[in-house]
Structure 1
């Protein structure tokens, strides 16, 4: 198993300009933008870094001007959050304060940063501008942008966005629109900002989503383990050959008519290995939670929807059950959870958020996100496709990423206490 350590170049020096607020190039709509319940529970910031091999003297100005232009169709990003009379978050599109944009230069080549799929916090904070008002929801920008030039003529585009505005598909659509404008191309997708199509029902109609909202107690005292030990982040590369073997393992008991996807087989392995590595007690209840994009599952489908169009699929069992059962059985649990996500499940999930507290960050749960299909390879600002695309500073979950733009495998990124990481490495 090939293991990548996260990039930890503490000697990296980055000089930044003062941030300037980029406003939409033309007058845009005002008013207030409704945010769905799914958006409401996603109000936290996520960083992303794209790296590119070459540039020229025009690069920063081209990207900056394109940002001003893309903020016309994506005008809510120039606004700020507000709260309505019910205490729910909305976007105040009258408060056009813009997107902070920072120009920066680094003292090394991009190659010197090593593996950039998952960045050390020290590196990430130098390549992504985080606004000091970030913790003040109604003041903070919804997006920040930083372009960093390197000594090799390469550059990075680092962004931090409030997840209430975008899910993975939406942020890719935005980045690809931004880069299309930079290349002088017309937009291939005109965004749909109407989020009222995902309003909750009154009264709520809840069925089939109860496992996701069950409170699970930490009887294994994982909190103490996470507080006492250093948290180590590693990435593990599963090439196509290893994935084929894993998919075979997931179907060996003969109960399965068709083979599982690489995601399902790998999720089963990772969930089981993490549970063993953390030495959970057999009677410990635990969940596997992972987002499922429902755009194609709605009637009519909603391909242009810009917002969060994902709900969490959930598997719930005890640690003893998970460890004792064959991996094919675990894969079956995950496949069934995916198949449960239909329009009724989505509507019920949205309604549930009016009634129940949803806790994604419980240590007993594994929150697994897959970025395998995110179309980051199309984000070409005019100097070629990105050489890498990465993130960092994730909560205690797990991320599946495509192995490079050719997608020849899956990279699994997760963080664990040191002793558990040593065990996890042996198990996978």
Structure 2
């Protein structure tokens, strides 16, 4: 599976309405919302598309009306970003510009577009409305929504949301709440908007140092490869049989590790194969960062329904030579230890570090793996059934996505990443099982 191709793009002709600003149905608090250091580090805008098989003529109206209702609870999304005197981002809730909402129609059947999991950027741009002002600090929206109806009766809901507002879990909770109100149901989960839960400590208590924040120099001149060659994005399917084979390899040395998860085994394969495919020099530091949801680690202070970013990215760091020479079981053991390292003390210490120091963990020799495997989008039912797929665009070059294989009821994993053309040709051979 690759991103939707240009042939599908030509099939997709969209007619859009003028964006309408949707405001909370009732008055909501003003003031400002604190954003944590983790929120402040999440500066991208994430586009997602939820695909539904059926609808009726009133689908856009129902979803739009429910948006005004859900914004009463998630009112920061109707605000705008601002900066504090210390240069930190905050949400200004006095400026209620609202959420731009667009209705659209497509002159084709939704099946004509093929797989909607990884979406070509041109098609994504037609299904997700992006405000021209989105990068302007005080006027850019934090959320936009577009409902697109297709001739077959299916529809898509395209969302663009600022990452500083949500991680994957918070986004799904918001979407589920929105869908519940559309069906006339009460919220099953009331959001916790208090992000001061993740405020840095005074004085800071940094128990590092952490490899997570080590700057990695590009001694292999990888930047030139990314600039010189075409960047190719591909996705790789690993069904249950392939994953079982991979886990056997990762645990072949029973003394190192007797068991591991599908995620750990697959992350080991991808990290090693990418480092080899990019032809990193043996002394090049190769860094693997893994997004970990730490909600369960802070049970004493983090209530259910926390609305914000509750992810941390611990890392494995070694030279490319060490990584390539060691068996995959050793790599898997390193990754498992890193994931298990995420405790409350680790999280608090990392937040203190991020609040005090500037850092750039995402150099070209680094790989960040973001897992969407636990995002339960099957609960997002606006009244016409659950979406059969959740899709997004191509990830940035240093980011690799782990997604469910196809629809929500499948148990395989799809790996999506981009590499220079020559490296991608090598990578796809190295991950063949």
TM-score, normalising length from structure 2? 0.96
Comparing 198-207 and 345-354, the one that deviates more: 198-207
Counterpart in the other structure of 1:353 = 354
SS in 1 for 2:313: strand
SS in 2 for 1:286: strand
Q: Is the 8 A contact 1:287 1:316 kept in 2?
A: yes
Comparing 401-410 and 20-29, the one that deviates more: 401-410
SS in 2 for 1:112: helix
Counterpart in the other structure of 2:50 = 50
* Cα drift, residue 209 of structure 1: 5.1
Counterpart in the other structure of 2:117 = 117
* Cα drift, residue 360 of structure 1: 4.2
* Cα drift, residue 88 of structure 1: 1.1
Comparing 298-307 and 277-286, the one that deviates more: 298-307
Q: Is the 8 A contact 1:32 1:90 kept in 2?
A: yes
SS in 2 for 1:171: helix
* Cα drift, residue 151 of structure 1: 1.4
Counterpart in the other structure of 1:234 = 234
Change in 2 beyond 3 A, CA 1:99/1:209: farther
Q: Distance in 2 between matches of 1:383 and 1:288?
A: 41
Q: Is the 8 A contact 2:370 2:401 kept in 1?
A: yes
1:75-94 mapped onto 2 (5 Å cutoff): 75-94=75-94
Q: Is the 8 A contact 1:147 1:158 kept in 2?
A: yes
Q: Is the 8 A contact 2:233 2:394 kept in 1?
A: no
Q: Is the 8 A contact 1:35 1:89 kept in 2?
A: yes
Q: Distance in 1 between matches of 2:428 and 2:107?
A: 34
Query: What stretches of structure 2 of length at least 5 have no aligned partner?
Result: none
Counterpart in the other structure of 1:427 = 430
Structure 1 vs Structure 2 CA RMSD: 1.1
* Cα drift, residue 184 of structure 1: 1.1
Counterpart in the other structure of 2:4 = 7
Q: Distance in 2 between matches of 1:365 and 1:97?
A: 38
Q: Is the 8 A contact 2:53 2:155 kept in 1?
A: yes
SS in 2 for 1:206: coil
Q: Deviations over 1:143-168 (max 9, x none)?
A: 00000111111110000000010000
Q: Is the 8 A contact 1:287 1:315 kept in 2?
A: yes
Q: Is the 8 A contact 2:215 2:363 kept in 1?
A: no
Q: Distance in 1 between matches of 2:58 and 2:205?
A: 55
Q: Distance in 2 between matches of 1:122 and 1:368?
A: 24
* Cα drift, residue 355 of structure 1: 2.6
Q: Is the 8 A contact 1:74 1:191 kept in 2?
A: yes
SS in 1 for 2:291: strand
Number of aligned positions between the proteins:
425
Q: Is the 8 A contact 1:212 1:358 kept in 2?
A: no
Q: Distance in 2 between matches of 1:149 and 1:131?
A: 20
Change in 2 beyond 3 A, CA 1:234/1:393: closer
Q: Deviations over 1:243-278 (max 9, x none)?
A: 111111100012145410000000000000111111
SS in 2 for 1:399: strand
Q: Is the 8 A contact 2:257 2:333 kept in 1?
A: no
Q: Distance in 2 between matches of 1:115 and 1:96?
A: 37
Q: Distance in 1 between matches of 2:72 and 2:238?
A: 41
Q: Distance in 2 between matches of 1:208 and 1:410?
A: 34
Q: Distance in 2 between matches of 1:85 and 1:364?
A: 34
Counterpart in the other structure of 2:160 = 160
Structure 2 residue 371 is matched with structure 1 residue 374: no
Structure 2 residue 412 is matched with structure 1 residue 413: no
Q: Deviations over 1:34-71 (max 9, x none)?
A: 00000011122010000111111111100100001000
* Cα drift, residue 413 of structure 1: 0.6
- Aligned pair partner of 1:400 in 395, 399, 402: 402
Counterpart in the other structure of 1:276 = 276
Q: Is the 8 A contact 1:361 1:395 kept in 2?
A: no
Q: Distance in 2 between matches of 1:335 and 1:357?
A: 28
